[in-house]
Every structure is written in C-alpha cells, then in structure tokens.
C-alpha cells in the first residue's frame, strides 16, 4: 500500500510535493548541487572549510534577535513501552517485569517537549512522522501538552508509529530497543516546501539519529544556507554517520559511548575524551558537546580549552531515559536566548538533574520555573 501522509486536525492541507531537484542530499545524490546556498560546496574539503567559516556566523545569530524565532526539532516520535525489571535477561532467559506502561517518547519528541516547556517565548515545532494509530494519538496528546506546535507533524497511513521497549532497572539505568516505523519509512523523497520554510526561519535547528540520515542532511543543508545554527545529537541508530552531514552541523553532541563509536578511540578518561574530540575537529565538527553522565559535560571548541560543567546532583535518580535529550534541548534553548556557552552548559545541567528524578521521558521534562529555581538555590553556589 502506498504511504499517504495527512496533517493533524486543524492544520492546512499539504502543498503539492515539489518536482524532483538535484540540490538536496540523498543516498542517490551524495554530491548535490548547492548553488542556492550562500557558501561553496567542495566534497573533498567542505566539512573543514565550510564549518570553519560558517559556524561562528551561524552561532552568532542566536541571541536577542532570535527571541521570537521558533525552535525547530526534526526527528522521531515514539511510543515508549516501559518495563521495570530487576536485571536484564540473559540469552534464552525470561524475566518478569514488576510494572509496564506506555508513554510518549522518541528523541525528537523529547527534545521538542523540553524546548516547549523551557522556552515559552519561542514557539517550538516538531517536524516528524507518526502512524495513524493509537500510539500516534498518544504521541500527539503528549506533544500538545508539552507546548509543541503540531502543524508540521504528519500522520502516515501505511506505517505504524515508531515505538521503543525501555527496560528500566532499579538504579534508574535503562536499555532501549527501537522500532523505527513511521520515523524511518514515512518521509517523502523531497522535503516539503512548508517544512523548509519553517527551518529557514528558525532560531535554531535540533537533529538526532532516529530518522533517516538523508532527511537530516536535507534540512541541515537548508538551515546552514539560511545561517540557522544546527545542533545534532548523536543518539539513535548506531550506523556510521555520513561524512557529508558533518559540514552542515554547528554543534555535535554525543555521549562518551557515541563519541568512542564515531572516532574509534577510547573514552574512559577525560584525557581520552579530549583526544577523541580533537579527532572530531579533524572531521570538520568544530564544536563538540559531550554528555558525560554522572561526570557532567564538556564543550570542546577547536583551538580552545574545553569548558567543563560538573553534574548537578539529583536528590534521587529514578529514570535516566530522557536525560540526554533534556540536556541537549536545554542547551539549545539557552543558546538561542544568547547566553554564553558556560551558562548554556549550566542551564542544561540543571534541566537534566530535574529530569532524572521523574519516570518517563516526556513526563520528566522540567518547566522553566523549576530550572530557574534550581539554579538560584544556595546549594548550587559552589557548583
């Protein structure tokens, strides 16, 4: 059956798909014609040259002038099926869960909800795909409750909503299995005109890796041409990232495991993490924002000393599922508001600290008032 996408209720009808063009990255078109962009494209040197020239300009656009511009997330939306277990099963073993429930999640939806709650002055959009099913409606309700605009979220009739099985252990740690569904198979070959218009007018663009890389490349390319800062969270599928995508990304945000996978280098110590970040710089990723779990975070800017942020302790760690997404989205919110990088890290750390104290990904996303109150508490004066 041919996939049919329809927008959510109360949305305007979709515009016709534009004719085939050769100026967007895709698996069949790895070297697109980029004459419409404001910077040159050279497949052999683009990642290094364009990032060096364009990143400072793009990031400098985030600030006071962006207060009314939207935060745009292009990414996944899942139904997260939580099972609470004492330990992970061994091969061939069945274990009983003490509790199970289904909540909305997905890295794109998580980051959009976080942006919607933390940035009431900036409209937040999720450009994504859900199935025309019960899970899709669960996701829509959760996004709406998180203050996310649903104009650019489409239902796909021929694919189920993406979902994930989250195995949650007593210490709050989790293991996750993802079924892509509409997140992977529901996208048109060419980006919709109204989606590109939204991206070009954004204050910042957030990406992850739970949708096809060619979709990320298309929208990141458009954002780059418009001078919109692009943050890419490395979380999601563990396949290699196309090198063509690196040149469109301003800030790349992995955790230490993802950093090790990308670079092929150990990341067990901070010195090793620093060396791996240098390798990312050599790949053309000029700003690398590494999430270090209980060790906090660090921002590596090429040619400068890293900026480190210690973790802000949580009263009790209940569920770490949405912590990385909360951190990335909160950092983006602070950046688009014009905060210095060090303050962006601190704001993100506070949001993540609140997130891990609540079960579920989207339900755990903090509001702005809670983050500000935490940052102003006397206990944080020395952190």
Catalytic residues, which ones?
325
Residue 253 belongs to what H/E stretch? strand 251-253
Q: State yes or no: 255 annotated in a binding site.
A: yes
Q: State yes or no: 107 annotated in a binding site.
A: yes
Q: State yes or no: 319 annotated in a binding site.
A: yes
CA–CA separation, 60 vs 203, rounded Å?
A: 11
Q: Is 329 helix (H, G, I), strand (E, B) or coil?
A: helix
Helices (H), the chain: 46-60, 107-118, 134-145, 182-185, 193-200, 213-225, 243-246, 256-263, 270-282, 323-336, 341-355, 368-375
Q: State yes or no: 75 annotated in a binding site.
A: no
Q: State yes or no: 355 annotated in a binding site.
A: yes
Task: Provide the 8-state DSSP code for 362.
Answer: G
CA–CA separation, 210 vs 62, rounded Å?
A: 26
Are 169 and 86 contacting, i.e. CB atoms less than 8 angstroms apart? yes
Residue corresponding to tokens 């429930």: 101
- CA-nearest of 319, 313, 315 to 361 is 319
Residue 163 belongs to what H/E stretch? strand 162-168
Q: State yes or no: 293 annotated in a binding site.
A: yes
Are 39 and 53 contacting, i.e. CB atoms less than 8 angstroms apart? yes
Q: State yes or no: 360 annotated in a binding site.
A: yes
Q: What share of the chain is helix, strand, coil (3-state, %, to 5)?
A: 35, 20, 45
Q: State yes or no: 292 annotated in a binding site.
A: yes
Q: State yes or no: 78 annotated in a binding site.
A: yes
Q: State yes or no: 247 annotated in a binding site.
A: no
Q: State yes or no: 333 annotated in a binding site.
A: no
Task: Provide the 8-state DSSP code for 241.
Answer: P
Q: Is 256 helix (H, G, I), strand (E, B) or coil?
A: helix
Q: State yes or no: 216 annotated in a binding site.
A: no
- By CB atoms closer than 10 A (0-12, 13-18, 19+), residue 249 is buried
The edge-to-edge listing of strands for the beta sheet with 99-105 is 99-105, 78-84, 162-168, 174-179
Q: State yes or no: 295 annotated in a binding site.
A: yes
Distances (CA, A) of 59 to 119, 121, 229: 18, 19, 5
CA 372 to centroid of chain Cα atoms: 22
Task: Provide the 8-state DSSP code for 237.
Answer: -
CA–CA separation, 371 vs 352, rounded Å?
A: 9
Q: State yes or no: 79 annotated in a binding site.
A: yes
Q: State yes or no: 5 annotated in a binding site.
A: no
Q: State yes or no: 109 annotated in a binding site.
A: yes
Altogether, the residues listed in the chain come to a count of 383
Q: State yes or no: 324 annotated in a binding site.
A: yes
CA–CA separation, 336 vs 290, rounded Å?
A: 19
Q: State yes or no: 50 annotated in a binding site.
A: no
Which residue numbers belong to the known binding site for ATP?
255, 291-296, 324-325
Which residue numbers belong to the known binding site for substrate?
78-80, 106-110, 210, 325
Which residue numbers belong to the known binding site?
78-80, 106-110, 210, 255, 291-296, 319, 321, 324-325, 355, 358, 360, 364
Which residue numbers belong to the known binding site for K(+)?
319, 321, 355, 358, 360, 364
């Amino acid at each position: 059956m041919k996939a049919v996408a329809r927008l959510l209720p109360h949305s305007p009808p979709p515009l016709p798909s534009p004719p085939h063009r050769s100026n967007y990255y895709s698996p069949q078109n790895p070297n697109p014609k980029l004459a419409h962009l404001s910077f040159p494209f050279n497949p052999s040197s683009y990642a290094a040259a364009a990032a060096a020239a364009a990143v400072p300009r793009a990031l400098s656009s985030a600030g006071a002038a962006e207060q009314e511009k939207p935060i745009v997330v292009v990414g996944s939306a899942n139904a997260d099926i939580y099972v609470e277990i004492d330990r992970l099963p061994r091969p061939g073993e069945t274990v009983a869960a003490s509790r199970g429930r289904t909540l909305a999640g997905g890295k794109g939806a998580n980051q959009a909800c976080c942006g919607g709650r933390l940035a009431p002055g900036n409209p937040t959009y999720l450009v994504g795909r859900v199935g025309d099913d019960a899970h899709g409606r669960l996701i829509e309700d959760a996004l709406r409750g998180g203050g996310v605009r649903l104009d650019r979220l489409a239902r796909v009739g021929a694919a189920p909503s993406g979902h994930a099985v989250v195995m949650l252990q007593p210490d709050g740690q989790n293991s996750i299995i993802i079924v892509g569904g509409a997140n992977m198979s529901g996208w048109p070959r060419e980006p919709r005109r109204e989606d590109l218009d939204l991206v070009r007018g954004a204050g910042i663009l957030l990406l992850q890796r739970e949708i096809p890389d060619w979709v990320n490349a298309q929208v990141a390319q458009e954002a780059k041409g418009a001078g919109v800062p692009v943050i890419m969270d490395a979380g999601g599928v563990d396949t290699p990232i196309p090198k063509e995508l690196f040149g469109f990304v301003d800030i790349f945000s992995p955790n230490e495991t993802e950093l090790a996978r990308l670079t092929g280098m150990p990341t067990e110590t901070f010195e090793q993490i620093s060396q791996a970040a240098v390798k990312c710089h050599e790949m053309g990723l000029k700003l690398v924002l590494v999430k270090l779990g209980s060790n906090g975070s660090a921002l590596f800017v090429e040619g400068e000393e890293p900026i480190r942020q210690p973790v802000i302790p949580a009263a009790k760690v209940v569920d770490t599922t949405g912590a990385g997404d909360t951190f990335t989205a909160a950092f983006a919110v602070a950046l688009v508001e014009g905060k210095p990088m060090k303050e962006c890290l601190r704001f993100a750390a506070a949001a993540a600290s609140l997130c891990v104290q609540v079960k579920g990904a989207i339900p755990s996303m903090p509001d702005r008032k809670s983050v500000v109150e935490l940052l102003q508490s006397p206990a944080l004066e020395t952190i």
